[in-house]
Structure 1
């Protein structure tokens, strides 16, 4: 069976319209933020592009529609890149996108009707290759690189960028009527590439915008103070811990340092996305604050690691604190719908065995945590000063 160009372009239009409308509705219903708006512009442009190419294929003399389609391809890929930049909290650089789109439109319009079907196409191919490549690079940077979905999207962008780069080279060497160009990089092959791009991009971007809208970026603490009451930043925890250890040494009060690692955080990030993992960290922070003794200080050391300093007259008391925390984590689902719970490993170092030097206490608690992580989630290990390494 042979598919003619008109039929294929109409099919492309239908696919683009369905995917675009689905993405826009998903974005409106969940949260219409700047990233969703920019990516929505990309899909609206894609719909108009498909319509322009359809008009070009069925209306004799509609050479101007081809120019609109060429510019639309570039604007669509460019706004996808802009949305990726906004996702990473960077400027959209929409001016660059509009400038590139304008150049492509002029390259197709200036030759007029005598320019033929491929007038200015080289400009479209180059711009599309550049913007797709930039979108792939941006998808692997900053916040987006944390998401498996974004990494998959980067592969899609790079595939499209590579295709248009090869299309440019073959077009310049083989010509618009060459067998290689028409067979592998002409309208029909490119239509299939466009359908694949739109479908995969719609799915990936829907997942990314849903994660972004459902849960904001994690920021438990800032340099000015904790955003979540009772949780200190790493630097704040270090300062409080050193001050408390100094007073405790003076008064001979025993303290213990607990280092907690969320053992299944990486699995949650992979299965449900980075935003779900961020919510897991927030949930663990809340459980620590509500479960631990009132005299304890809690710090988020970054990533999936927490630090806790508290009083413990006996070693058994420190273990009991860790066990109580583990029980609270098991009994408190992160998301009542999914029912998933955080699993933790814990390393403990006490001033009775390790002394009051914060660096030594921290190093030995870290060694105990490493042993607990190796043993598996739920493991609690006490530091052994005889085998733990001292800080260099």
Structure 2
């Protein structure tokens, strides 16, 4: 029969292996908060496993029990923060580290030298709550469309239920009861932890791969704020566009928002290959940079969808700008072998200084672009008859 200390050491070693693989993959991949939080979760899990192993060898090392309880709460909290960041929500780090601090203090005040279960109920509450929150987050936002997030939801949900059951049995029957020892003792808990670490690490690794592929599809490189076509990514475009409209109003200038989408890009990819589709996207980006005023802001949302924010003295100036764009697209081939030319659906919204509001301009331009697509594409709609 394997003793408890050996089981704890094996669990720690397995966690270390999973953490090293994931952290190295994160270190040489795209740097973002999701990878940071999930890497931190594995590091805290290692700290927790090793701390409990130290305490199992020598119970006089009371600090190890306190550190272990605090670290396991922080680890589960970091999983939750990573899931929230994946869904582009605020991480709430102060909640996680505050909970870890509470677990540490609760263990310290509960005589950890004589009591191996010191602070355990408090740490189990933290683990159960963070895992339940992570499971709920996995089925909302971007994550609800991924099979890997569903797997992760099952993993963290199972852990939340297990720790909730462990807490109830501990409080109802005590740690010496056969029910607790057989189903929720250190051995069964460590065995379950090993399974969940493997399944959880695999799930979050696949989610990171999905995320990296989505960034590649959107043309995002590691340069903050820019896509591979030399225009802004969408988050920076919308922030900059909003600011540009406000500043234009301060100088009594008109503002305009242009939304563009390449017509039939999916069909181009299917018929001629993704390389040709990528060239079409690059051609549109180049033409926008050449024809739009040098003070305008250009961003790419996804696939063949771009946006432009520009300022002008009079709203009617946008007519000449869009005409120059169309002429440049007609003159430019994105596949010389088939002599293919781009057609785009364009929505334009302009407003004079007193009436300019970013959100209204953006919504109007987007709606007109959508209508242009619905009417067959290769059309400019600017709200005029």
Please indicate the TM-score interval, normalised by the length of the shorter structure: 0.5 to 0.7
Mapping 1:181-330, distance limit 5 Å: 181-210=180-209, 211=212, 219=233, 222=238, 236=257, 259-260=263-264, 262=266, 285-286=281-282
- Report how far residue 129 of structure 1 moved: 0.4
Distance in 2 separating the partners of 1:188 and 1:368: 65
- Kindly provide the CA deviation profile for residues 23-43 of structure 1, in whole angstroms up to 9, marking residues without a partner as x: 221111224433323322222
Distance in 2 separating the partners of 1:91 and 1:303: 23
- Report how far residue 112 of structure 1 moved: 1.3
Instruction: Indicate if the aligned counterparts of 1:53 and 1:65 stay in contact, CA closer than 8 A.
Output: yes
Distance in 1 separating the partners of 2:268 and 2:185: 48
Distance in 2 separating the partners of 1:99 and 1:164: 20
- Kindly provide the CA deviation profile for residues 192-218 of structure 1, in whole angstroms up to 9, marking residues without a partner as x: 222223223323333444516967898
SS class of match (1:10): helix
- Kindly provide the CA deviation profile for residues 100-126 of structure 1, in whole angstroms up to 9, marking residues without a partner as x: 111111222212146521122111111
Partner residue, 1:383: none
The verdict on how the C-alpha distance between 1:184 and 1:305 changes in structure 2, with shifts beyond 3 A counting, is: farther
Partner residue, 1:27: 26
Partner residue, 1:254: none
- Superposed CA RMSD: 4.9
Question: Which blocks of at least 5 consecutive residues in structure 2 are unaligned?
Answer: 228-232, 242-255, 292-298, 307-321, 324-329, 346-366, 378-385
Partner residue, 2:71: 72
Partner residue, 2:164: 165
Instruction: Indicate if the aligned counterparts of 2:41 and 2:79 stay in contact, CA closer than 8 A.
Output: yes
The verdict on how the C-alpha distance between 1:261 and 1:120 changes in structure 2, with shifts beyond 3 A counting, is: same
SS class of match (2:141): coil
Instruction: Indicate if the aligned counterparts of 1:67 and 1:108 stay in contact, CA closer than 8 A.
Output: yes
The verdict on how the C-alpha distance between 1:214 and 1:166 changes in structure 2, with shifts beyond 3 A counting, is: farther
Distance in 1 separating the partners of 2:277 and 2:138: 24
Question: Which blocks of at least 5 consecutive residues in structure 1 are unaligned?
Answer: 226-234, 242-256, 266-276, 311-320, 333-345, 349-358, 370-392
For this pair of structures, how many residues does the alignment match? 302
Distance in 2 separating the partners of 1:360 and 1:34: 35
Instruction: Indicate if the aligned counterparts of 1:49 and 1:72 stay in contact, CA closer than 8 A.
Output: yes
- Report how far residue 75 of structure 1 moved: 0.9
Mapping 1:115-154, distance limit 5 Å: 116-154=115-153
SS class of match (2:2): coil
Instruction: Indicate if the aligned counterparts of 1:49 and 1:69 stay in contact, CA closer than 8 A.
Output: yes
- Report how far residue 261 of structure 1 moved: 6.4
Distance in 2 separating the partners of 1:6 and 1:28: 32
User: Which TM-score applies when normalising by structure 2?
Assistant: 0.60
Instruction: Indicate if the aligned counterparts of 1:8 and 1:191 stay in contact, CA closer than 8 A.
Output: yes
SS class of match (2:94): helix
SS class of match (2:264): strand
- Report how far residue 364 of structure 1 moved: 10
- Report how far residue 237 of structure 1 moved: 5.5
Distance in 1 separating the partners of 2:303 and 2:116: 56
Instruction: Indicate if the aligned counterparts of 1:35 and 1:86 stay in contact, CA closer than 8 A.
Output: yes
Partner residue, 1:101: 100
The verdict on how the C-alpha distance between 1:66 and 1:361 changes in structure 2, with shifts beyond 3 A counting, is: closer
Instruction: Indicate if the aligned counterparts of 2:70 and 2:101 stay in contact, CA closer than 8 A.
Output: yes
- Report how far residue 303 of structure 1 moved: 7.1
